[in-house]
Amino acid sequence: MNAEEATHSLSAVRALFRRYVFLAIPAIGLLELAAHIVQVTTRIPAEDWAAARDGVKAGVRPNDLVVFSPAWLDPLGREYFRDNLATIGREARPDDTRFARAFEVSIRGEHLAEFEGWKVEATQHFGAITVNILDNPSPATVIDDLVDHAAPDKAQVALVEGGNETGCPWTRGSPQTGQIGFGPGIPADRFVCPRSSFVATSVVPANDFRPHRCLYAPPVGGSSVLRIRFVDVEFGRTLHGHQAISWAAARYNSPPVTLVWKAQGRTLARLTEQDADGWKPFEIDTGDLAGQKGELVAEVSAPSGSNRQYCFEADTR
């Protein structure tokens, strides 16, 4: 083969490659899907799951955490452990700091990285499943959980526009799923405000793709403020919490959401949440209010209410 023929052959190969290179993308996707199917369907006997569930049920306390490792095992764990063990409070926890112990249900020797500093109290084996009982070296003492205040006798909600405050009555309607499968679910019981605004307890998937139970309070936009008055809050030394915009809405590069905390007529903190912030924690010093009981106000606003699927949670400690 002379140089001209070699050059022609190489050009033909390059042209053929350019023509069919797009097939590599679905091929890689199919390989990943096949690997995932093999990973998640490697059979764990149902009797192992049942034994592990009974073992955890016999030892778990109401304030203990139950988790599944590796993270992709969680759907299977929920299927076998059911709602009485894989509860919303455990599955959609704000973080791990409030739990004194954790029951880590694992396979293949896997461990969740967030529990590396926890001490192993005991280990139990149930066939292919291992349950590690872990002790939190410094559990937080939660005094008052504000998500539990989303009720007519524990909170008041209003929409503030142009200096006028319009109350948002507690209403029982119909629950709604996220639009086209995206966004937080809306419970039947909620505070309903003008301009389709509302406040309700929901579960939001943030950019970490994990569920988080919180107060869904999407802002209206403009100069409007969604004001939530928490009644008879027991204050501690800190106000600990998180805020997030649902991952489904955090793709539009929209203006930030502002959350302002107030108590006793003064501003405690002014926080912002950007699309890329994810499930962002905050800690506010309330040492001068510790031991007192009173009203705590949260005000939510944003320049634009479009795509601001905003949610926050907080507790006193």
Label each residue of 116-128 as H, E or C.
Answer: CCCEEEEEEEECC
Rounded to an integer, what distance in angstroms lies between the CA atom of residue 48 and that of residue 69? 15
Q: Which residue has the tokens 């948002």?
A: 168
What is the CB neighbour count within 10 angstroms for residue 237?
15
Write out the E strands in 29-118. Answer: 65-69, 101-107
Low-confidence ranges of the chain (pLDDT < 50): 33-41
Domain locations in the chain as residue ranges: 3-41, 46-135, 144-316
All residues at 6 or more sequence positions from 229 whose CB lies less than 8 Å from its CB, including other chains: 155, 156, 157, 158, 295, 296, 297
Q: Using alpha carbons only, give the angle 167, 169, 171 rounded to the nearest 5 degrees.
A: 160
Half-sphere exposure of 178 (CA within 13 A, CB side): 15
Residue 280 has which token pair?
């962002």
Q: What pLDDT does 174 receive?
A: 82
- Going by DSSP bridges, is the β-strand pair 65-69/101-107 parallel, antiparallel, or unpaired? parallel
DSSP letter assigned to residue 181 = G
Cross-strand bridge partners of residue 212: 204
State CA 309 to chain mean position distance: 13
Other beta carbons within 10 angstroms of residue 256's beta carbon come to 17
pLDDT of residue 6: 54
Name the DSSP letter for residue 221.
Answer: B
The pLDDT tens digits for 151-185 are 999 999 999 999 899 999 999 888 877 655 566 78
C-alpha radius of gyration, the chain, whole number: 25
The token pair at 204 is 């939001």
Task: Supply the pTM of this predicted model.
Answer: 0.83
Q: How far apart are CA 235 and CA 263, in angstroms?
A: 10
Q: What share of the chain is helix, strand, coil (3-state, %, to 5)?
A: 30, 40, 35
Instruction: Look at residue 34 in the predicted model and tell me its pLDDT.
Output: 46
pLDDT score for 30: 56
pLDDT digit string (tens) for 268-306?
999 999 999 999 999 999 999 999 999 999 999 999 888
Two tokens at 248? 């489904």
Task: Say if residues 256 and 216 touch (Cβ distance below 8 Å).
Answer: no
In words, the CATH class of domain 144-316 is mainly beta
Q: Tell me, what amino acid is at 315?
A: D
d(CA 139, CA 137): 6
